[in-house]
Amino acid sequence: MQALDRKTKLRLTGWLLHGAGVLSLAAGAVTCHVVTANVYLQRRNANDAEAARLAGVLETSRETYQEHRRLSGELAQLERNAETMRLRIPDQPQEAEFLRQVTQTANATQLRILNYERKSVIIGKTHAEFDIRLNCCGAYDSICKFLDRLGQLPRVTVVKKLNILARDNPERYPVDMTLTLYCRSGAAPGNG
């Protein structure tokens, strides 16, 4: 019986050892799973945070791209306008040519120029400007048409001052206007 007890004890010990091994293996597997799951969750949280950050960057990039595109279009338009304006400012004063153009415009709009006089000259770094004073007379609609066409002349012309006097004759309003013309700075007209 003692032998039987010994065999039974050995068998029981064997089963206990197997049970302990299985429990150790199960505990190791659970520990491995918990550690792996924790690492996975940390990585997932980090990836979610990075994905959210990158989505914000992407959204900002889209807005930045659209703003860049809009501003680039505006810049291109401003550069075209600057080039157009540069082409409308002659290298030389060309006062006689301007007087010819103004006279043609006045004739076409039935405005009569009575006096033409060059006034002050201001010389800047990039351009010079000089004033032309015109004394005219004409009907109100002729004055309006003249001013409209003045803005369409090939060179930049700015109306600096405009006085229209009321008279009894609506066909002959006296007009006193000062126009500013521009040319390159090195080609400024004399003050004579």
Residue 181, Cβ density class (10 Å: 0-12 exposed, 13-18 middle, ≥19 buried)? buried
Cβ proximity of 98 and 135 under 8 Å: no
Answer yes or no: do 73 and 106 share one domain.
no
Q: What is the maximum alpha-carbon separation in the chain?
A: 151
Domain identity same for 179 and 151: yes
Q: What is the pLDDT of residues 5-26, one digit of tens each?
A: 777 877 888 888 888 888 888 8
What would the two tokens of residue 36 be? 């792996």
Please state whether the predicted TM-score (pTM) of the whole model is above 0.85: no
184 pairs with which residues across the strands? 127
Token output for 125:
């770094």
Integer Cα distance of 123 and 186 in angstroms = 9
What domain count does the chain have?
2
> Could you give the CA distance from residue 90 to residue 16 in angstroms, rounded to a whole number?
108
What are 56-80's pLDDT values in tens digits?
887 888 888 888 899 999 999 999 9
Report pLDDT for 106: 95
pLDDT given at position 4: 64
Question: Where among 87, 113, 142 does a domain terminate?
Answer: 87
1 and 77, same structural domain? Answer: yes
Tokens of 17: 């050892």
Predicted pLDDT of residue 44: 87
4: left (phi over 0), alpha (psi -120 to 50) or beta: alpha
Of 7, 188, 183, 18, whose CA–CA distance to 91 is shortest?
A: 183
Task: State the pLDDT at residue 3.
Answer: 61
CB–CB of 181/130 below 8 Å?
yes
Asked if 169 and 105 sit in the same domain, the reply is yes
pLDDT beneath 70, residues of the chain: 1-4, 186-192
pLDDT the model gives residue 192? 39
* 166 lies in the same domain as 149: yes
The pLDDT value recorded for residue 23 is 85
